[in-house]
């Protein structure tokens, strides 16, 4: 039974307290549900029949949010060179290259390369 809830009503709630070791995650979000089930191997403890599922997970497995990494221009250039070197040595698989190309397209880096490989490729 699928009900039509607004995006505002389709919540993800992570709930835990100091007295228990377990946390509960209640979510309508399909990405979170797939991640919890396929990547973490969790089974839902509750399914409301309207698209939401609830999971239980050890509280210690939940990480607090991190601040974004701020790199100087020099550090960014150093990381970029490291990535080029890794790519030249064959440490990137095709899935990684596809993800890098997709990211480059989204950021407007048309025509740039990593090592010998273009970030974007033509469909010709």
* Distance from C-alpha of 68 to C-alpha of 17, rounded to nearest angstrom: 27
Q: Which residue has the higher pLDDT, 85 or 118?
A: 85
Q: How far apart are the C-alpha atoms of 115 and 106, rounded to whole Å?
A: 20
What count of other Cβ atoms lies within 10 Å of the Cβ of residue 115?
14
Domain ranges of the chain: 12-61, 73-118
The reported pTM is 0.57
Q: What is the pLDDT of residues 71-86, one digit of tens each?
A: 899 988 998 888 888 7
Q: How confident is the model at residue 110 (pLDDT cuts 50, 70, 90)?
A: low
Q: For the segment 19-48, what is each residue's pLDDT rounded down to a tens digit?
A: 999 999 999 999 999 999 999 999 999 999
């Amino acid at each position: 039974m699928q009900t039509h809830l607004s995006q505002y009503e389709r919540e993800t709630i992570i709930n835990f307290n100091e007295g228990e070791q377990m946390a509960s995650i209640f979510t309508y979000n399909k990405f979170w549900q797939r991640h919890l089930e396929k990547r973490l191997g969790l089974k839902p403890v509750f399914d409301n029949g309207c698209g939401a599922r609830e999971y239980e997970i050890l509280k210690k497995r939940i990480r607090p949010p991190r601040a974004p990494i701020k790199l100087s221009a020099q550090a960014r250039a150093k990381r970029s060179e490291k990535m080029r070197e890794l790519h030249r040595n064959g440490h990137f698989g095709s899935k990684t290259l596809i993800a890098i190309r997709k990211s480059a397209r989204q950021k407007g880096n048309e025509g740039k390369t990593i090592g010998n490989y273009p970030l974007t490729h033509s469909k010709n």
